Structure 1
């Protein structure tokens, strides 16, 4: 149900896939990374953004909204190691509505949960393209 609500929230699918890619990279979840690479390609995310998402801070190809969402993704994914800075939330508020922030946060929380499930249970990555 949470996934359906996020999908129907109006958030851009390319953006949500970008966040899922970054969280899955940080968490080292091969299954989720491959799954969301397939979906990112299906939704038309540019190959350059897919290739460079791990180094998004050093690339100019990411929009202000993408940069704010990626910073939020990293802050939430790594919150056990680092306090979430007020500046990360302020950056988010500058480019997203409260509703969008809620759905972004839910999407990040969901992918982090899936990373832990798939990683712990050692799911094999889906090597075929998503249809």
Structure 2
């Protein structure tokens, strides 16, 4: 038996409105669920990106309580031919690229922040292979 993939990843935000605007309008992710002051869920390829208000999920009664504070990190993989276009798109939308990293074998990635301070990264295929 093997785990096939990470199906969902969860981040936390105290500003669901800014999160909705950034991830839906800036990054173009479709919203699949939204409950005011509790959560917003986005489709990202075959995965789901969950954002919860940590104050609401800290006191969860139905599911196990969960929450986090402070900046978190995740990376989005894009086709190598789209890497430059993603960088340009974000810069046009006034999203600051805070770092570009050059890895082994000519691979590279870039980092930027969402409105609540999470560190996001755009990576091409091959970074972890």
Structure with more of its chain in helix, by fraction: 1
Q: TM-score range by the shorter chain?
A: under 0.3
Structure with more of its chain in strand, by fraction: 2
So what's the TM-score if we normalise by structure 1?
Answer: 0.27
User: Which structure has the greater CA radius of gyration?
Assistant: 2
